[in-house]
Each structure stands twice: as structure tokens, then as C-alpha cells.
Structure 1
Amino acid sequence: MGFRTALFNARFWGASFERAVLTVIQALGAQVAVFSATDIEKLGLNGLPWSTITSVSVFAGLSSLLTSLGKAGATKGRGPGLVEQLTQKKAKTVTPSVGVTEPTAGSDGKTVK
């Protein structure tokens, strides 16, 4: 699977968007921590430059998405990153235990174990 196939692969896009959202959250948290450590006493939480923090975080997410798209050809569609591989969850099969019997009713109609 190459670049063109990745464009139409829902699993590839899902993993790419997940990575981009995580990048936005990480960038947002890092900036709030840095600004809070330096200016929180002077400005308070409402005084932080939220427009700057938000725009930098969104740009980081877009950069992550573009990076995933750029790597689509190099990874042959295995995932958005060079070391990742998309996996499908397999259905868990349950096998009955050997020797298990159903409870039976006794002469008084109550279940006997």
C-alpha cells in the first residue's frame, strides 16, 4: 500500500488524526505549563495569551497530520509513522471448558449442583 492507497484508507486517517489530536493536547499542555510557571503570578490564568497558545497548538497538530501524510509512501501504508503498524483487533474466541455439565434438577424440583 503506497501513498495513493493511504489517501483512501480509513484506518490510516484514523491513526493520523489520533496522532494529530494528541500532538495538539501535548503542545497546549506544554505551553500552559511554561506560561504559568513564568507569568501566572502576574497575569493569572485569564491573562495568559490564549490566542497564541491555541494557534501554536493547532499548527503543531496540522504539522503532525502533514508529517503522517508525507510518510504514507515511505511506510507502504502500514501506519502514519515509520515504526508503527496498523493492527486490526481480532475477535476473541471463547471455547467451552471440557467436563462442564449443566445443573440438574433433583426430585424436589430444586437445582442440584
Structure 2
Amino acid sequence: MSSMWTAAFWKATAERAVRTFAQSLAAVLVAGATNLLNVDWAAALGTAGLATVLAVLTALGAAGVGPHGPGLLETPTPQPAPRPTD
């Protein structure tokens, strides 16, 4: 079963999407070096929204690839102990 069908995957993906949205919106606002009254909010929110969509698509594309987590709300997946060889 693919890891993208788990609640943990969608919880981590939602966390990354929110974080990406906030970071990209802040970057657009800072890069514009303007005040909040003169911001082109449609462009700023559109740019942040596109970055968010790309973050979710990246998570979907990487589902099941590599080790699991951790995100801020996850704990690392413990590695199984090596089996003794006889």
C-alpha cells in the first residue's frame, strides 16, 4: 500500500502546504519592498497558491520514495534492529 493513502501522509502534506504558502507569500511581499496598502494582493496570493500546489504535487510524486518523515508533527520511523546472522 502506498504511503499516500495514510492519514500521516496527508497531515504532513497539509503542514508542508501551509508552510510553503506562508513562506512564498512572505517572500513575494518582501521582494516587492512595498507596504501592505500597495501590494498587488491578487498576484501575491496567486504566486503563493502556485507554490503551494507545487509543494503538494511534489509530495504526491515522492510518496513512497525514501524514508518516512519526520515533519514537525511526525516522529521518525524507527529502524528495525539488524538480525543476527548464524
Contact residue 4 and residue 64 of structure 2 kept, 8 A: no
Computing the radius of gyration from Cα coordinates, the structure with the larger value is: 1
Among 17, 28, 47, which residue is 1:56 paired with?
47
Structure 1: tracts of 5 or more residues without a match:
89-113
Counterpart-to-counterpart distance in 1, 2:52 and 2:61: 14
Match of 2:30 in 1: 33
Q: TM-score, normalised by structure 2?
A: 0.73
Counterpart-to-counterpart distance in 2, 1:34 and 1:75: 34
Counterpart-to-counterpart distance in 2, 1:16 and 1:75: 15
Shift of 1:46: 1.9
Match of 1:105 in 2: none
Match of 2:3 in 1: 6
Shift of 1:7: 2.7
Which amino acid is the alignment partner of residue 46 of structure 1? L
Deviations 1:19-53 (A, max 9, x none): 11100000000111111x2xx3xxx5222110000
Counterpart-to-counterpart distance in 1, 2:56 and 2:19: 11
Return closer, same or farther for 1:87/1:45 CA change in 2, 3 Å cut-off: closer
Identity %: 32
Q: Structure 1 runs of 4+ off > 3 angstroms?
A: none
How many residue pairs were aligned? Answer: 74
Shift of 1:87: 2.1
Q: TM-score, normalised by structure 1?
A: 0.57
Contact residue 16 and residue 55 of structure 2 kept, 8 A: yes
The DSSP-based 3-state class of the residue aligned with 1:45 is coil
Task: Compute the RMSD of aligned alpha carbons.
Answer: 2.1
- Between the two structures, name the one with larger relative contact order (CA 8 Å, sep ≥ 6): 2
Structure 2: tracts of 5 or more residues without a match:
77-86
Among 44, 65, 73, which residue is 2:56 paired with?
65
